[in-house]
Amino acid sequence: MSFAIGSLEGLPHARSLCRHIRLPGRRPGGYACAMTDKPENRRYHDMGGLPAGPIENEDHEPDLWEKRVDAMMVCLGTSAPDGKRLITVDEIRRVIEDLPPDAYDTMSYYERWVHSIATILAERGVYTPEELDAKLAEVKARSKQQAGEGAAQ
């Protein structure tokens, strides 16, 4: 689906604002698994016990767009009066787990959420990928126009 990762372009500064919550790089020094370990079958996200390097414990203030993604997820995951909801956390995880290793390592926490939400809503028919692409183009054009007006003042 064309909107998967590229859709982040619609979010101003998404890439630069959240790079500090990336996963640390893999480093040697973890524990070996037992005889049953068959690395070729292990899915990439299922990394418990693998070398991962130091953990970054620094807090950071969430950016506005990250708060919006969080709020959107809460709304989509809350049941309507009829008991139905548009997204479960299990679906969110499933889509994130299906990311290719490169994307899994380089996307930030909320970038992965946005990717997952966008995918699930398309799966559930809330919008078509074409509709999402059109909306993103519209938002992008608006941001560009606003930036232009800001520069002119």
By the 8 A CB rule, do 116 and 95 touch? Answer: yes
User: Which residue, 43 or 150, has its beta carbon nearer to other proteins?
Assistant: 43
Residue 145 Cα to chain centre, angstroms: 27
Q: Pick from 16, 25, 28, 36: which binds other proteins (CB under 8 A)?
A: 36
CB of 126 to other proteins, least distance (A): 12
Considering the complex, what minimum distance in angstroms separates the CB of residue 113 from other proteins?
15
- Determine contact, residues 21/59, Cβ cutoff 8 Å: no
Q: Is 46 in the site for other proteins (CB under 8 A)?
A: yes
Site for other proteins in 5-34 (CB under 8 A): 31-34
- Between 34 and 74, whose beta carbon lies closer to other proteins? 34
Q: Of 19-27, 54-62, 89-97, 136-144, which segment contacts other proteins by CB under 8 A? A: 89-97
Q: Name the one residue in this structure whose structure tokens are 């559930």.
A: 124
Give the integer Cα–Cα distance in Å for 147 and 151: 6
Specify whether the CB–CB gap between 33 and 49 falls below 8 A.
yes
Query: What minimum distance in Å lies between the beta carbon of 43 and other proteins?
Result: 8
d(CA 23, CA 96): 14
How long a stretch of residues is the chain?
Answer: 153
Please identify, using beta-carbon distances, which residue of 91 and 111 lies nearer to other proteins. Answer: 91
Rounded-to-integer distance, Cα 89 and Cα 121, Å: 13
Which residues of this protein are in contact with other proteins, per CB under 8 A? 31-34, 36-38, 41-43, 46, 48-49, 88, 90-91, 93-94, 97, 123-124
